[in-house]
Every structure is written in structure tokens, then in C-alpha cells.
A and B are shown apart, each in its own frame.
Chain A
């Protein structure tokens, strides 16, 4: 069978004059000696001649294209697009996605949701209070100075505690006047502190300041301006706010001169942390600097959180780019 195929190939190439001189001479010697091979070659020659003599078929119509036919692919775009772009973008997407998942998993597993913000800030309590105060600020700006701390859960609880503590304050006047208990050293830092600090620039400030003015003599016995404390903390401001709350008519009935310290009677964990670096801030009511803006807030956002957001956005953009590159490559 192989001999037959090889012989057919030789005869076919011989008909087309495609054999080199040596093969051609050898075949012609065989043809001269073998009548069957000669007959086979002649039948092949006649078969090929019949095919070559086939009349060309007339075309049934012209195949010109209509004018509205448009090219499908823009040549410049095809020529410019590198072949490695799609695999590169795919690999980059995978790498960035893995990094994003790793950072996210680290955040969630070791610190829980939102735990990152407690880690990295240099002045965590104060900064978080400032950051967390954003919704409160907004609500208060909208509703005016008479708004109480009932916007978010945390301020609500603190305000309630503060009010209750203020109401109970007259029962322990000595404690308020003398050395305060450790937990009262620093009032809890709540968004209310930031509220007052930022709200000082709003129209609500006069009301708040006027309500706060009688507080210092009642609480620490010293006016806030003369306070020796180097840096007033938002926690101290919160104490002042809570004391201001106590100036409502109900509070005035039960305690005409409420001391501010009991406002911090139930300090939170982060308030205790804040106590350590500034133990002298007892009874401080001086408001924090009011020039704290959004840029300051953003500067204290955890870098891990920034990295998470950046990686997530990058992975998304790379995914879209890789999808586009693969689709363009298949055209």
C-alpha cells in the first residue's frame, strides 16, 4: 500500500514536471520496462486532462458589495494592540485581587469590622470622635442648636448616661469638688465633642456657649480659659456638652448647679485610653480647636483602610481592562 501511494505520488509529480532529474530518470527507466506502470500513468494523465478540460462555470451574478458595507475592524487599532496585553492585564488583576483579599482578611480576622481605625491613629480616641461625628454634625446643622444628642446610637447612650449622671451629681458634691475618681478624670469622648468644636462655627454656637458659660465654676471651679491643661481633649468638651444638657429645665429643677465630672461616670474603654496621656484634663471644658477640617480627618484615617479601598478599586479597574483586552484580541 505504501508502495502504491509512493508510486502515485511519483506519477502525479511526473505529470506536473515536479521531479528532480534523478527521480525523473529513474521513473522513466521503470516506465520503459513496465507496461502496467505505463498504462497507469496514461490513465492518470487522461483523468487529469478531463478535469483540466472542465469548462469554467459562468457566474450567476456579480458579487460586488453594496456601498453601505463597512469594515469590521479598524486597522490602526489592530496593528497597535500588543499581543501580551490581555495576559498581562489578567495576571495583574489576579495579583491585585489576591493582595486585596489578603489585606481584607487580615483586617477582618485580626481586628474585626472597623477594628483598623482603633489601631493606627496616633490619638485614637480623639480622632475617632472627630471622624464619627460627621453624621451628628450634619444633623445638628440641619436642625439647629436645640438638637440633642439623639442622632446616633453612641452619642445617644453617652448623652443619656451624662444626663443621668448630672441628675445624680448633687448627691456627691464632695467627690465632685475634691479629687475626682479615675474614671471621671476624662469625660468620654463622643461625637458631641466634635459637634461642639465644629458647631462653633455654625449659627448654633452662641446658644451652646451661653449655656456652657456657667459650667466651669460649677464643675472644676476654674474658667476654661485659665486652664493649665496644655491640650483640651474632645472628651473634656463632651463633658461640657453633657453638662450643658443638664441645663435643660428638668435638670435645673433637680440640680441648679450640676457638676460636670459625673458626666464621665461611665467612661468607655477608649475614654480610659485617652485618660492616660492627659490625666490633668479633669473637668476641662475648654473646647478643642475649631479649625479641625476634613483634611485633618482624612489624615488620621487608617492607612490599612486606604490600602483596602485602593486595592479594591484597582482590582476592579484591572478586571474591566483585562475583559476589554481579551475581547479585542479575539476579533
Chain B
């Protein structure tokens, strides 16, 4: 069954049809939430809330990109959670102790432990740099460079003008570049920005 039919059935209240759409988009929705929120538990909560909200407000969906519709909802959920955290900062227990070795899905097959550790260090530094960005620039950067969306799609998801997307993305990239350059010692040598001939 194609997506349009699934959406139409879901709009009639068929949960099974909507769950087909959930299975299709849940990776993208969760990854966007994870890059914005920075921890798996908050990302999972935002993702689940977004799907429930998307289903309940499906009558407002007037066509267009269903992926943009879902990503817009999860982005707004993340914004809400970030604002709530700003008012009441708290530490997530799930964020502290994650036994990644116990979950084989967190490692790529065929990767030796050193490579995995190195890749994880790079990912942590980049994620820290992303989280240091203002929320609107963070979302734009993740949508563009993590999700691989076009400027037009980002404009639809974030509901801003195309020029705003360009300027936000340029500022986000510039700040992240400066962060990675200033914290180059945290990265393995082959991942540092200022390698020979560039500095």
C-alpha cells in the first residue's frame, strides 16, 4: 500500500495504517530528536510523543511531505523540552549510564574496539559542539547535515523563510567549525580540522 493510502486510512482512525508510517519514519524522527536533545531517553520520549501527536492531529495534514510533517512535530516537541530544561535543569539518569557494550546495535559490525572508541570520541565531540549551538541553528544544522534535507524542506519543517534557513545554517556551521578548531585536541589527529597545510 502506498503512503497516500496509508495516510488516508490513518486519517479515518485506522491505527494499523498509521503504524505502517511509524515503521517507515521512526529512524529519521528518532535521529533528529537524538541530535537535538543529545540523549537517547529524551529522544525516545520526544519521538513517541511526536507520533502520538501526529496521529491525533492527522486531520490537519493537508498533503505535501509527510516526512516534513512528522519532523516538524518532533522538532517542536524538542523545542518544548529544551525550554522546559532551561527553566528546570535536571540530569537524566539514562544519560549518565549507558552500557553500550551490552547493546550490539550500538556498534557497527566488523569494527575493532579501537576504531569504535575513536569514532565514539569524534561523535561525542561533534555532538557536544552541536548542543552548544542555539536551538534554531542546531535544528537547521541537523536537518541539513545529519538528515540531508534540502533548504526548501528545512524551510517547511521549521516554518521559516528560505533566506532564514541559509543564514541559520551558515552561522551554525561557522560556530561548529570554530568549536572543533578550538577543541581539536579532543579529536584524534586525523579528524582535526587544522591539519598540515591548513593552519
The residue in chain A whose Cβ has the minimal distance to the Cβ of B191 is A50
What is the interface of chain B, defined by CB distance below 8 A to chain A?
Answer: 11, 13, 15-16, 18-19, 22-23, 26-27, 29-31, 34-35, 40, 43-44, 47-48, 51-52, 55-60, 103, 105-106, 108, 119, 122-123, 126-127, 130, 141, 144-146, 148, 151, 166-167, 169-171, 173-174, 176-177, 180-181, 191, 193-194, 198-199
Contact B141 A51 (CB under 8 A): yes
Contact B27 A59 (CB under 8 A): yes
Contact A78 B60 (CB under 8 A): yes
Task: Report if A277 contacts B (CB, 8 A).
Answer: no
If A8-B173, A69-B52 touch, whether A51 touches B130 (CB-CB below 8 Å) is yes
Shortest distance from the beta carbon of A72 to any chain B beta carbon, whole Å:
4
Collect the chain A residues with CB atoms within 8 Å of residue B34's CB. Answer: 57
Name the residue among A12, A42, A48, A51 with the largest chain B CB count within 10 angstroms.
A51
Shortest distance from the beta carbon of A34 to any chain B beta carbon, whole Å:
14
Which residues of chain A in 46-102 are interfacial with respect to chain B, using CB atoms and an 8 Å cutoff? 46-48, 50-52, 54-67, 69-75, 78-79
Shortest distance from the beta carbon of A147 to any chain B beta carbon, whole Å:
67
Cross-interface CB contact of A65 among B18, B35, B43, B123, cutoff 8 Å: B18
The residue in chain B whose Cβ has the minimal distance to the Cβ of A73 is B59
Contact A71 B170 (CB under 8 A): no
The residue in chain B whose Cβ has the minimal distance to the Cβ of A53 is B122
A-B contact count (CB 8 A): 129
Contact A5 B27 (CB under 8 A): no
Contact A52 B146 (CB under 8 A): yes
Collect the chain A residues with CB atoms within 8 Å of residue B55's CB. Answer: 65, 69, 71
If A48-B173, A73-B59 touch, whether A43 touches B181 (CB-CB below 8 Å) is yes
Collect the chain B residues with CB atoms within 8 Å of residue A48's CB. Answer: 145, 173
Which residues of chain A in 5-37 are interfacial with respect to chain B, using CB atoms and an 8 Å cutoff? 5, 8-9, 11-13, 15-16, 18
Contact B22 A64 (CB under 8 A): yes
Q: What 6 A-B pairs have minimum CB-CB distances, sorted nearest first?
A: A75-B59, A12-B170, A9-B170, A72-B56, A64-B19, A47-B177
Contact B170 A42 (CB under 8 A): no
Task: Report if A229 contacts B (CB, 8 A).
Answer: no
Shortest distance from the beta carbon of B47 to any chain A beta carbon, whole Å:
5
If A48-B173, A71-B58 touch, whether A63 touches B30 (CB-CB below 8 Å) is yes
Collect the chain A residues with CB atoms within 8 Å of residue B108's CB. Answer: 55
Collect the chain B residues with CB atoms within 8 Å of residue A301's CB. Answer: none
How long is the Cα–Cα vector from A42 to B43 in the complex, in angstroms? 32
The residue in chain B whose Cβ has the minimal distance to the Cβ of A66 is B15
Collect the chain A residues with CB atoms within 8 Å of residue B145's CB. Answer: 48, 51-52
Contact A72 B26 (CB under 8 A): no
If A56-B31, A65-B51 touch, whether A47 touches B180 (CB-CB below 8 Å) is yes
Task: Report if A39 contacts B (CB, 8 A).
Answer: yes
